[in-house]
Amino acid sequence: MTTDGSQPRAAALDWGRPLEFGFFLDPAADDPTAVLDTARLLDKLGYDLIGIQDHPYQARHLDTLSLLGVILGQTSRVRVFADVADLPLRPPAVLAKAAATLDLLSGGRFEMGLGAGGFLKAAHAMGAPQWTPGQSLAALEEAVTVIRAMWSGERRGLQFDGQFYRLGGVHPGPAAAHPIPIWIGANKPHALALTGQIGDGWVSPLMGYKPPFEAAEANRVIDRAATEAGRNPADIRRIYNVQGVFTHQRTQALDADGDITGPPEQWADVLTHFALDVGFDTFVLAADSDEGTLTTFITDVAPAVRARVAEARAHSPRKAPTDRRRQLS
């Protein structure tokens, strides 16, 4: 075991994908001006992604999809995604249309994070179907099919007759500005396997709920499922929501709460390990949104992690996956 509880280098899971860095933005309804100020700062600082949790039944939260649209209208380069969209309260055909619209209006800066719903009773209290966890996962699989059909560009009416969702001749459109990936929020084995079978990415729960040693095994489950489905595991993005604080002195890599705690150099050590040995290529920071923290993560930590990972990969190269976004740009 390493100091953060994950597996040592022998169990490396790195697929050679380009690294990206994002921020887990709190959709606090009590101070929406501050939320938008932070989003604009993230854009200015050069963050790749802004992820926003989606709990429509939470009175303290702004609506995630609406907030993402406003953020896209007030920024110029950062990409956004729901971390992750609550499927039971967001019908997939309508969600697909909204996503394509936001992507088109923003020049290709909307990504799709999608989950089966982690708080089913709360969602049901807001009008969602009263599904079991198993039914929710089956509905998620159907939803991915529906969403992709709505993005397919088909000129004929779409037909789909599932257990949970139906399309009765709907004409899709408008087309998105880029091929929107579907990043699946998953925690348990069946959902992880589904991610490997059909997902374009995996959005892990917050690190406190999915510590590194569990996340490494989850990535192995995804890899096995992808391989068994005839897919290349390297085509699946792996997104880790990491939390922590910056301090001046080095400490144990992870504190008692599972947070990364230490100076930027120590953060770089930990995230480099997560990239090379635990299997993640995208790190979304869940931390205080003060300018110092945001600046340190993207200007000190991110470049150091990229440099260290690049050096390690140069000595143990693995064929990098195709980056469709770069091909299209």
Asked if 328 and 103 touch (Cβ cutoff 8 Å), the reply is: no
Q: What is the pLDDT of residues 123-151, one digit of tens each?
A: 999 999 999 999 999 999 999 999 999 99
How many of the other CB atoms lie within 10 Å of CB of 229? 12
- pLDDT for the residue numbered 254: 76
Please state, in angstroms and rounded to a whole number, the distance separating the CA atoms of residues 237 and 226.
Answer: 12
| Helices (H), ranges, the chain | 32-45, 64-73, 92-106, 120-125, 133-150, 189-198, 212-228, 264-273, 291-296, 302-315, 324-328
Please state, in angstroms and rounded to a whole number, the distance separating the CA atoms of residues 190 and 140.
Answer: 12
Q: What is the pLDDT of residues 77-128, one digit of tens each?
A: 999 999 999 999 999 999 999 999 999 999 999 999 999 998 999 999 999 9
What integer best gives the mean pLDDT of the chain?
A: 92
> Which residue, 215, 220, 320, 314, is CA-closest to 270?
215
Q: Is 255 left (phi over 0), alpha (psi -120 to 50) or beta?
A: beta
* Per-residue confidence band for 60, with pLDDT thresholds at 50, 70 and 90: very high
Q: What is the mean pLDDT of residues 169-190?
A: 97
* Per-residue confidence band for 323, with pLDDT thresholds at 50, 70 and 90: very low
* Per-residue confidence band for 7, with pLDDT thresholds at 50, 70 and 90: very low
3-state secondary structure of 61: strand
Instruction: Report whether CATH 3.30.70.260 matches the domain 9-328.
Output: no
- pLDDT for the residue numbered 20: 98
> Which residue, 35, 94, 114, is CA-closest to 68?
35
Token pair listed for 263:
């100076």
Q: What pTM does this model have?
A: 0.92
